[in-house]
Copies of this chain bind each other. A is one copy, B any other.
Amino acid sequence: MSAKTDVAILGASGYTGAELVRMLLGHPNVRIAALTADRKAGTTMADAFPQFYGVDLPRLVTIAEVDWSGIDAVFCALPHATTQAVLKGLPERIKIVDLSADFRLSDPAAYEYWYGAPHQAVELQKEAVYGITEFARDRVAKARLVANPGCYTTCSQLPVIPLLEAKAVDPDEIVVDAKSGVTGAGRSLKESNLFTEVSEGFHAYGVGHHRHMAELEEGFSRAAGRPVIPSFTPHLVPMNRGMLATVYLKPVGDHTPQSLHEILATRFAGEPFVHVLPFGTVPQTRHVRGTNRAHISVFADRRPGRAIVMCVIDNLVKGASGQAIQNLNVMMGWPETTALEAVGFFP
C-alpha cells in the first residue's frame, strides 16, 4: 500500500514517455506503478533510455498486462488514433491525461475530416477537457479526461488567445510561422528524421494542411467567438528540443504593439510558467529547454499598424509531458508546480 498516487504511463518508450518518467521521479505525490511499451515489453526502461540506468522503475509491459486495480491515474502517450480504444476500456475512477491528438477536437466531424476515420469514443470525446492549463484551469480541475494540447497549439495559442479574447487583434489577419526541434517527430523510423537528412539544413513541412491546424483553429475560433483560420506553417529546426512561434498580428481599434504587450503581461502576471519578457526582448528556445516554461514577447513591426508576437517553449515539456503533469497536478488538487520547478540548463 502506498500513500502516493499510483500512476501508469502508456507508451513509455517514446520521448514524451521518457520525459514523464524523468519529471515524475521528482514528484513527491506520485509512484510510477506501471510502464507500457508494447513492442519493448519485457525489457527495462534503462534499455530504452540508458539515462535511467540504476533507477528503480517497473519493467516495461504490454497494455494488456497492466493490473488496473491499483492505478489511480494514467498518462497516455500512445500514437495518434490508437488511443481511443484503449482509453474507452479503462475503469471510470481512473483520471487520464492523454497526450495524443485523439481527444483534442471537440467536434467529431472535424476529427473525421482531419484524421480520415470516425472517432471511436465519441462519449469520451465530449467529456474531454482541452487543457492548456493557463486557459482551462477550472475545467481541468474537475475533469476525468484531459486532452493534453499539442506543442504547436500550446506555443501558438498562449500568446494569441488573450489578444483574441480582448478583441485587440484582427482574427482574419493572423500569420503563425512556427519552428520546431526534431523530437516533435517522435522516435519513429522515417528517412526524413535521420541525422543526415536533418542536420545542416532547414525546411517547412505540412504546408497548408498540417493536422495541428484543426486544434489551432478551434482554439482561436473559441477565443474570437467566431470562425478563425490563420496562416500556419511549421518548420523543422536541426535541434532536438524547442519551439518558436513567430506570430504576425494586426492590432485593431486603439491597440498598439505596446498595448498588446500589456494585455499579455497582465494576463500572465503570477503565472508560474508563462513569462512575458520586456517589450522587444527576443525569446530563445534554448532558455526554456527542459522546463515547463513559456517565454513570450511582443515587438513593433516596421510594417505600419502591425505587431509581432513570439512564444518559445520546450516542445516535449510545456508542449507535451510537462503540461501533462501540470494538468494532473490541477486535477488532483496538488500545487500546480509540483515536479516542474527546475530551471533549465543552457548551454
Contacts and interface: CB of A to CB of B under 8 A. Distances in A.
A231 B303 contact: yes
Interface centre among A209, A277, A290, A343 (most CB of B within 10 A): A343
A94 to B, nearest CB: 26
Contact of A282 (B203, B280, B312): B203
A284 to B, nearest CB: 4
A272 to B, nearest CB: 9
A308 B179 contact: no
A240 interface: yes
A286 interface: yes
A237 B238 contact: yes
A28 interface: no
A342 B175 CA distance: 37
Contact of A347 (B54, B190, B200, B341): B200
Interface of A: 15, 18-19, 21-22, 25-26, 49-55, 175, 177, 179, 181-183, 185, 187, 189-191, 193-205, 207-209, 213, 229-233, 235, 237-242, 244, 246, 248, 275, 277, 280, 282-291, 295, 299-304, 306, 308, 310, 312, 341-347
Report the 9 A-B pairs with minimum CB-CB distance, sorted nearest first. Answer: A201-B286, A203-B284, A177-B177, A196-B347, A195-B198, A240-B347, A50-B287, A189-B189, A51-B287
24 contacts: A15-B196, A18-B346, A51-B289, A175-B248, A177-B177, A187-B194, A187-B197, A189-B189, A189-B191, A195-B195, A196-B240, A197-B347, A199-B200, A200-B241, A200-B347, A201-B242, A201-B289, A202-B312, A203-B244, A231-B248, A235-B244, A237-B237, A248-B248, A342-B342
